[in-house]
């Protein structure tokens, strides 16, 4: 195809094409919007080689700060165009994409600040018998090369969450974005170069997880892998890393509890957004809703009313709330799961039938406990509402999955909130908001099959550095 913008691989400051051309489609119209070029295994190896060499002479913290701050400014300056590009390649409404673009500004700003805050600690070594005359402290050093593998559902901000801290920590980074959404990742890399980042410290390799992601993971010169994606892919990557370190941000079957004393109307509005924004294609999207039986009818009415107000359509239209799913195959799978739940006795309150890649907000009740909608991540705008009467029992129900990323609970009772905070086995528990609530500077990560390691620039920087102990004995020995 001629006349389309191109997205190429970035190696040592050069944008390189391959013989494998991939068309990036507008997720609503299906029209081609760009041509991307998958990296060859040799290109992946070259990108790592360049990054390895560059990582041996890291930027000093003030220079890291200046580069990352300049990129934050560039994102803000190009806010509308970046949001439009992300809307086209992802299918998310331009409303959501503007919000994600603003978040990426904060992610890069926070990363810039963290570049100046990397510290160690004094070790009270004098307390050890025989060490009274010695001094000990720790410093943190860059790991070297960070391989970043990112998903389609936040094509700009998730890349920022990996690249920003990696560079802030003094590392080099090689990014492999989702083949569905390479445009935003390439734009961020371009802004880094324009901000003055040495060319070798950022690389971009395009293509699917196999073979491109696999080649990046299998290269033992990659010291740290930061991954966001499915649990299955996260487990496969972890199995290949050996002793190398990683952050795995994987799936969830996210739950939110609405107690009898909750502000039902507010909870319903928040749950509608938490379940249906980005067509439910967020790992913390509200998928399981446990509502106290005494307020079940009121909550369902409020949730249905909120869902009915959401506008489905072209993501470029400012009036649109929900665009298409990432592909028609993804929407078809979601519809099949809904139909299977209905066959098991569930009732559809609203939605349930797709049109091409468009899946409307879907609410179900009477879902069987063994249905996939309650046991596996649907990654679609589908939520199951389950009544409960006992808080202890519902906490056990929320915990009763292999996952543990985030959960929410709505209650005015402090004791109930504290019990939930202690007993919900999650990486994060959100009080009076949904499982989908996140601020970019907070620690964010899961337990169990939801992964390990922590995102949020401060916490990612710590993960992407190595702690080194320095022990000093006076040259003259004990005096």
Query: Is residue 177 in some structural domain?
Result: yes
Spatial neighbors of 352 by CB under 8 A, at least 6 apart, are 335, 338, 339, 342, 360, 362, 364
Whether 280 and 385 share a structural domain: yes
pLDDT, average across residues 177-183: 98
Residues 365 and 418 in one domain: yes
Per the domain annotation, does 1 fall within a domain? no
Please indicate, yes or no, whether residues 312 and 413 belong to a single structural domain of this protein: yes
Assess whether pLDDT exceeds 80 at residue 224.
yes
Residue 202 shares a structural domain with residue 311: no
Does 221 fall in a domain? yes
Q: How many domains does the chain have?
A: 2
pLDDT value for 478: 67
Q: Is 375 within a domain? A: yes
Calpha distance 446→358 (Å, rounded): 30
For 198, the domain range is 6-250+446-468
- Residues 37, 142, single domain; the answer is yes
Give the CATH number of the domain where residue 279 resides: 3.40.309.10
221 and 363 both lie in a single domain: no
% pLDDT > 70, the chain: 99
Residue 353 in domain: yes
CATH number for 173: 3.40.605.10
- The answer on pLDDT for 466 being more than 70 is yes
Spatial neighbors of 271 by CB under 8 A, at least 6 apart, are: 256, 258, 286, 289, 303, 306, 383, 434
On whether the pTM is more than 0.85, the answer is yes
State the pLDDT at residue 3. 84
**Catalytic residue list:** 249, 283
Do the strands 255-258 and 406-410 form a parallel or antiparallel pair, or are they unpaired? parallel
Residue 1 pLDDT: 55
Give the pLDDT score at 2. Answer: 63
Residues contacting 14, CB < 8 A, separation 6+: 199
Q: What is the pLDDT of residues 228-243, one digit of tens each?
A: 999 999 999 999 999 9
- Do 243 and 260 lie in one domain? The reply is no
Residue 281 lies in a domain: yes
Does 47 share its domain with 192?
yes
């Amino acid at each position: 195809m001629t006349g389309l913008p191109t997205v190429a691989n970035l190696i040592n400051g050069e944008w390189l094409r391959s013989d494998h051309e991939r068309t990036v489609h507008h997720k609503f119209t299906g029209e081609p919007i760009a041509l991307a070029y998958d990296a060859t295994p040799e290109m992946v190896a070259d990108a790592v080689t360049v990054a390895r060499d560059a990582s041996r002479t890291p930027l000093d913290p003030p220079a890291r700060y200046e580069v990352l701050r300049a990129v934050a400014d560039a994102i803000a300056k190009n806010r509308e165009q970046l949001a439009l590009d992300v809307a086209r390649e992802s299918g998310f409404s331009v409303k959501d994409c503007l919000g994600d673009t603003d978040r990426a500004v904060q992610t890069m700003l926070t990363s810039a600040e963290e570049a100046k805050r990397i510290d160690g600690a004094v070790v009270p070594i004098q307390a050890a018998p025989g060490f009274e005359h010695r001094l000990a402290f720790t410093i943190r050093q860059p790991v070297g090369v960070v391989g970043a593998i990112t998903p389609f559902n936040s094509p700009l901000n998730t890349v920022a969450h990996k690249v920003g801290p990696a560079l802030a920590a003094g590392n080099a980074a090689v990014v492999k974005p989702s083949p569905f959404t390479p445009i935003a990742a390439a734009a961020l890399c371009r802004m880094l170069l324009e901000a003055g980042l040495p060319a070798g410290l950022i690389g971009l390799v395009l293509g699917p997880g196999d073979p491109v992601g696999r080649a990046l993971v299998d290269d033992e010169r990659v010291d740290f892998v930061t991954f966001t994606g499915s649990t299955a892919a996260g487990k496969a990557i972890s199995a290949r890393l050996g002793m190398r370190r990683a952050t795995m941000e994987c799936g969830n079957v996210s739950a939110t509890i609405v107690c009898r004393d909750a502000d039902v109307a507010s909870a319903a509005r928040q749950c509608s957004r938490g379940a249906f924004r980005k067509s439910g294609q967020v790992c913390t999207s509200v998928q399981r809703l446990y509502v106290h039986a005494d307020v079940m009818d009121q909550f369902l009415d409020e949730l249905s009313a909120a869902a009915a107000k959401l506008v489905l359509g072209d993501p470029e239209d400012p009036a649109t709330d929900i665009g298409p799913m990432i592909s028609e195959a993804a929407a078809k799978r979601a519809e099949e799961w809904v139909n299977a739940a209905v066959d098991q006795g569930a009732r559809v309150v609203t939605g349930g039938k797709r049109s091409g890649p468009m899946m409307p907000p879907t609410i179900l009740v009477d879902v069987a406990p063994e249905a996939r909608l309650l046991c596996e991540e649907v990654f679609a705008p589908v939520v199951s509402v389950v009544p409960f009467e006992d808080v202890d029992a519902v906490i056990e129900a929320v915990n009763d999955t292999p996952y543990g990323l985030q959960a929410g609970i709505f209650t005015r009772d402090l004791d109930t909130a504290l019990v939930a905070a202690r007993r919900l086995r999650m990486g994060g528990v959100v009080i009076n908001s949904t499982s989908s609530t996140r601020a970019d500077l907070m620690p964010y990560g899961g337990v169990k099959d939801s992964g390990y390691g922590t995102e949020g620039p401060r916490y990612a920087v710590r993960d992407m550095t190595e702690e080194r102990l320095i022990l000093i004995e006076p040259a003259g020995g004990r005096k």
